Amino acid sequence: MPQKNQIERIEEYHSGNMSPEETASFEKELNSDPSLKAESNFQSDIINGIKEYRKTQLKTRLNAIDVSPGWMEFAQQSALVKSFGGLAVATAIGSGVYFLAETKENPTIKPTGEVVAHAEMNVPAAKEIQFELTLPALPATDLADRVEVTRKVGTEETSVDQVQPQTSTVVENSPTEEANTQKNKEETFAPSFSAPDVAEISDNKEIGSATLDEVPSIATATEGELKPIEVESKNSKSNKIKYKYFDGKLFLNGNFNEEPYEILEINSASGRRIYLLHMKKYYEVKLNDRLSELPEVRDIKLIQELRLIKANK
């Protein structure tokens, strides 16, 4: 059994109260004396245990303190004003969501195969909404045309390999809705989830089997200010995705048979950023004129942001 003196030395050693010279000589002793070493480890356990015990005790004390900001704090930091501002914004967003929820009720998003039936059924509903919101009304025939076109795209697409579920977001993404969404969600919410824009497609007179590949995944965040990117994709058996991106065109080469890819286009004042989601992984699309492997996004923070944007599409 070590003497009191020895235990005191061990304690001094573990609490960092020894001089460098003393520490060095004590460590020499530790290495040559197994029983001293065992006693030292034992004391270290105890001291750590006491420290942890006290920490838990103090944390319990802290947890009992009410940290919700009091009225005085509100007044001091003029947070009161801020919070009313927040309330106003919340109300605005809330009512926006309410509107959206109402208008969204009918145009459900369904995989491409079922679009045909839905698109037809939803035409009257979409017409109603447009009058209700008194936004630039479109002639009924025009609207019918649009749906017609998209339907065509939808059905013919099924035969093409890279079927994309977004192609079916016909009514949801019609320009009027888009404007509505933007207004309600504040101007700053530029990022939108990639989906083909009906207007874009109907304006494109070249739609036919030859150009079908380029139709899917056209994002419309800035409503015509920026030309949406064109995507062309080919299927390969490789699990790696190769890509080229220049001049607003994106060429993809990958295994999209089992799961379609989704494209997130983020347009902000600082420029455009494009991300691709496939098999639950995010990839970043950069300007690149030689076919090369698409780099996966590994930054956890960025991935979280992208998930958020996707969830808020």
Partner 1 sequence: MKDSEILERISRGDERILDHLYEKYYRMMTKVVLSNSGTEDEAKDVYQEALLAFWQKASSGKLVLTSKISTYLYSICLNQWRKELDRKSRLSSEEVDGEEIQGHDAKERLRIVKECIDELGDVCKGVLTYYYFDGLGMQDIAEKMNFANTDTAKTKKYKCKKKLDSLIKSKYTAEDFF
Rounded distance between C-alpha atoms, residue 251 and residue 274, angstroms: 13
Backbone angles phi, psi at 116, to 5 degrees: -50, -55
The CB-of-67 to partner 1 minimum distance in angstroms stands at 4
Longest C-alpha distance within the chain, in Å? 100
Rounded distance between C-alpha atoms, residue 172 and residue 66, angstroms: 46
| Per-residue contact string for residues 69-88; x = within reach of partner 1 by CB under 8 A | x-------------------
Direct distance between the N- and C-terminal alpha carbons of the chain, in angstroms, rounded to an integer: 70
Of these, 34, 65, 225, 270, which contacts partner 1 (CB under 8 A)?
65
Question: In what side-by-side order are the strands of the sheet with 288-293?
Answer: 230-235, 249-254, 242-246, 288-293
* C-alpha torsion angle, residues 100, 138, 223, 228 (rounded to 10): 110
- Cβ-based nearer residue to partner 1, 49 or 124: 49
The CB-of-294 to partner 1 minimum distance in angstroms stands at 20
Rounded distance between C-alpha atoms, residue 106 and residue 187, angstroms: 26
The CB-of-169 to partner 1 minimum distance in angstroms stands at 30
The CB-of-142 to partner 1 minimum distance in angstroms stands at 45
- Cβ-based nearer residue to partner 1, 28 or 59: 59
Rounded distance between C-alpha atoms, residue 154 and residue 114, angstroms: 9
- Count of residues touching partner 1 (by CB under 8 A): 27
Does 15 help bind partner 1 (rule: CB under 8 A)? yes
Does 246 help bind partner 1 (rule: CB under 8 A)? no
| Per-residue contact string for residues 182-221; x = within reach of partner 1 by CB under 8 A | ----------------------------------------
Rounded distance between C-alpha atoms, residue 218 and residue 200, angstroms: 8
Q: Which helix (H) or strand (E) holds 65?
A: none
- Cβ-based nearer residue to partner 1, 31 or 304: 304
Counting Cα atoms < 13 Å in the Cβ hemisphere of 134 gives 0
The CB-of-153 to partner 1 minimum distance in angstroms stands at 39
Q: Within 287-306, which residues bind partner 1 (CB under 8 A)?
A: 300-301, 304
Does 67 help bind partner 1 (rule: CB under 8 A)? yes
The three-state secondary structure class of 289 is strand
The CB-of-193 to partner 1 minimum distance in angstroms stands at 21
Backbone angles phi, psi at 185, to 5 degrees: -90, 20
Q: Within 24-63, which residues bind partner 1 (CB under 8 A)?
A: 38, 42, 45-59, 61-62
Binding footprint of partner 1 on the chain (CB under 8 A) = 4, 15, 38, 42, 45-59, 61-62, 65, 67, 69, 300-301, 304
